[in-house]
Amino acid sequence: MKRRVLFICTHNSARSQMAEGLLRHLGGERFEVFSAGTEATFVRPLAIRAMAELGIDISGQESKTLDRYLGETLDYVITVCDTAAEACPVFPGAAMRRHWSFEDPSKAGGSETEQLAVYRRVRDELRARIEQELLEQRS
Protein backbone atom coordinates (compact mmCIF):
# COMPACT_ATOMS: atom_id res chain seq x y z
CA MET A 1 0.00 0.00 0.00
CA LYS A 2 1.35 3.40 -0.98
CA ARG A 3 2.16 5.93 1.72
CA ARG A 4 0.59 9.33 1.01
CA VAL A 5 2.85 12.28 1.80
CA LEU A 6 2.13 16.01 1.59
CA PHE A 7 5.00 18.51 1.80
CA ILE A 8 3.95 22.05 2.74
CA CYS A 9 5.80 25.34 2.46
CA THR A 10 4.54 28.92 2.38
CA HIS A 11 4.65 29.55 -1.39
CA ASN A 12 5.04 26.00 -2.70
CA SER A 13 7.79 27.29 -4.96
CA ALA A 14 11.09 25.67 -3.92
CA ARG A 15 11.54 23.51 -0.80
CA SER A 16 8.22 21.66 -0.95
CA GLN A 17 8.52 21.28 -4.72
CA MET A 18 12.01 19.82 -4.44
CA ALA A 19 10.88 17.49 -1.63
CA GLU A 20 7.96 16.30 -3.75
CA GLY A 21 10.25 15.56 -6.69
CA LEU A 22 12.86 13.86 -4.54
CA LEU A 23 10.47 11.51 -2.76
CA ARG A 24 8.62 10.69 -5.97
CA HIS A 25 11.96 9.82 -7.61
CA LEU A 26 13.60 8.02 -4.67
CA GLY A 27 10.51 6.31 -3.27
CA GLY A 28 9.12 5.12 -6.57
CA GLU A 29 5.86 3.23 -6.34
CA ARG A 30 5.94 3.09 -2.53
CA PHE A 31 4.70 6.67 -2.17
CA GLU A 32 2.03 8.98 -3.50
CA VAL A 33 3.53 12.44 -3.10
CA PHE A 34 2.04 15.94 -3.14
CA SER A 35 3.16 19.45 -2.25
CA ALA A 36 1.24 22.60 -1.48
CA GLY A 37 1.58 26.02 0.07
CA THR A 38 -0.37 28.35 2.27
CA GLU A 39 -0.24 30.50 -0.89
CA ALA A 40 0.32 29.41 -4.50
CA THR A 41 2.94 31.15 -6.62
CA PHE A 42 5.18 29.37 -9.17
CA VAL A 43 7.93 26.76 -9.18
CA ARG A 44 11.21 28.64 -9.05
CA PRO A 45 13.52 28.18 -12.04
CA LEU A 46 16.57 27.62 -9.82
CA ALA A 47 14.72 24.82 -7.98
CA ILE A 48 13.96 23.22 -11.36
CA ARG A 49 17.61 23.59 -12.34
CA ALA A 50 18.99 22.16 -9.09
CA MET A 51 16.72 19.13 -9.40
CA ALA A 52 17.60 18.62 -13.08
CA GLU A 53 21.22 18.19 -11.99
CA LEU A 54 20.09 14.98 -10.27
CA GLY A 55 18.10 13.87 -13.30
CA ILE A 56 14.78 14.78 -11.63
CA ASP A 57 12.39 16.88 -13.73
CA ILE A 58 10.05 19.04 -11.66
CA SER A 59 9.32 21.49 -14.47
CA GLY A 60 5.81 20.04 -14.90
CA GLN A 61 4.91 20.48 -11.23
CA GLU A 62 2.69 23.39 -10.30
CA SER A 63 2.32 25.54 -7.22
CA LYS A 64 -0.90 24.70 -5.34
CA THR A 65 -2.62 25.79 -2.14
CA LEU A 66 -3.10 23.29 0.64
CA ASP A 67 -6.90 23.75 0.63
CA ARG A 68 -7.25 21.01 -1.97
CA TYR A 69 -5.72 18.45 0.44
CA LEU A 70 -7.66 19.31 3.61
CA GLY A 71 -10.15 16.47 3.17
CA GLU A 72 -7.55 13.91 2.09
CA THR A 73 -6.34 10.92 4.05
CA LEU A 74 -2.57 11.29 4.37
CA ASP A 75 0.11 9.25 6.11
CA TYR A 76 2.46 12.21 6.53
CA VAL A 77 2.02 15.98 6.45
CA ILE A 78 5.49 17.53 6.52
CA THR A 79 6.09 21.26 6.72
CA VAL A 80 9.48 22.30 5.36
CA CYS A 81 9.49 25.93 6.47
CA ASP A 82 8.82 27.60 9.79
CA THR A 83 6.15 30.00 8.50
CA ALA A 84 4.10 27.16 7.04
CA ALA A 85 4.44 25.18 10.26
CA GLU A 86 2.84 28.06 12.15
CA ALA A 87 0.09 28.66 9.56
CA CYS A 88 -0.66 25.03 8.71
CA PRO A 89 -4.15 23.91 9.63
CA VAL A 90 -4.91 20.64 11.34
CA PHE A 91 -5.22 17.72 8.94
CA PRO A 92 -7.61 15.32 10.66
CA GLY A 93 -6.85 12.65 8.08
CA ALA A 94 -3.07 12.75 8.66
CA ALA A 95 -1.56 9.87 10.58
CA MET A 96 1.69 11.76 11.27
CA ARG A 97 2.63 15.43 11.18
CA ARG A 98 6.28 16.49 11.11
CA HIS A 99 8.17 19.75 10.80
CA TRP A 100 11.50 20.00 9.04
CA SER A 101 13.07 23.47 9.12
CA PHE A 102 15.07 24.41 6.03
CA GLU A 103 16.52 27.70 4.84
CA ASP A 104 14.50 29.45 2.14
CA PRO A 105 16.69 29.32 -0.98
CA SER A 106 14.50 31.88 -2.75
CA LYS A 107 15.83 34.50 -0.32
CA ALA A 108 19.47 33.81 -1.22
CA GLY A 109 21.37 36.82 -2.43
CA GLY A 110 24.38 37.22 -4.65
CA SER A 111 24.97 36.09 -8.18
CA GLU A 112 22.90 33.39 -9.87
CA THR A 113 25.77 30.96 -9.23
CA GLU A 114 25.74 31.80 -5.52
CA GLN A 115 21.95 31.46 -5.36
CA LEU A 116 22.07 28.11 -7.16
CA ALA A 117 24.59 26.89 -4.58
CA VAL A 118 21.98 27.55 -1.85
CA TYR A 119 19.31 25.65 -3.82
CA ARG A 120 21.73 22.72 -4.18
CA ARG A 121 22.52 22.69 -0.47
CA VAL A 122 18.84 22.78 0.52
CA ARG A 123 18.08 20.08 -2.08
CA ASP A 124 20.80 17.86 -0.62
CA GLU A 125 19.59 18.48 2.95
CA LEU A 126 16.04 17.57 1.90
CA ARG A 127 17.30 14.41 0.24
CA ALA A 128 19.20 13.35 3.36
CA ARG A 129 16.15 13.93 5.56
CA ILE A 130 13.86 12.04 3.17
CA GLU A 131 16.28 9.12 3.04
CA GLN A 132 16.64 8.99 6.84
CA GLU A 133 13.05 9.54 7.91
CA LEU A 134 10.90 8.21 5.08
CA LEU A 135 12.89 5.74 3.02
CA GLU A 136 15.00 3.87 5.59
CA GLN A 137 12.02 2.97 7.77
CA ARG A 138 10.19 1.57 4.75
CA SER A 139 12.96 -0.65 3.40
| Structural domains present in the chain | 3-138 (3.40.50.2300)
- pLDDT of 88 higher than 90: no
Catalytic residue chosen out of the listed positions 56, 80, 81, 116: 81
CA dist., res. 81 & res. 38, Å (int) = 11
- Among 50, 45, 93, 101, residue whose Cα is nearest residue 72: 93
Catalytic residue chosen out of the listed positions 14, 56, 84, 88: 88
Q: Which residue has the higher pLDDT, 125 or 86?
A: 125
Q: Are 12 and 104 in contact (CB under 8 A)?
A: no
Least confident of 33-42, 45-54, 78-87: 78-87
Annotated catalytic residue 81: yes
- pLDDT of 84 higher than 70: no
- pLDDT of 91 higher than 80: no
Annotated catalytic residue 80: no
Beta-carbon neighbour count of residue 110 at 10 Å?
10
Catalytic residue chosen out of the listed positions 5, 6, 8, 9: 9
Tens of pLDDT, residue by residue over 2-32, are 999 999 998 999 999 999 999 999 999 999 9
Least confident of 61-65, 79-83, 115-119: 79-83
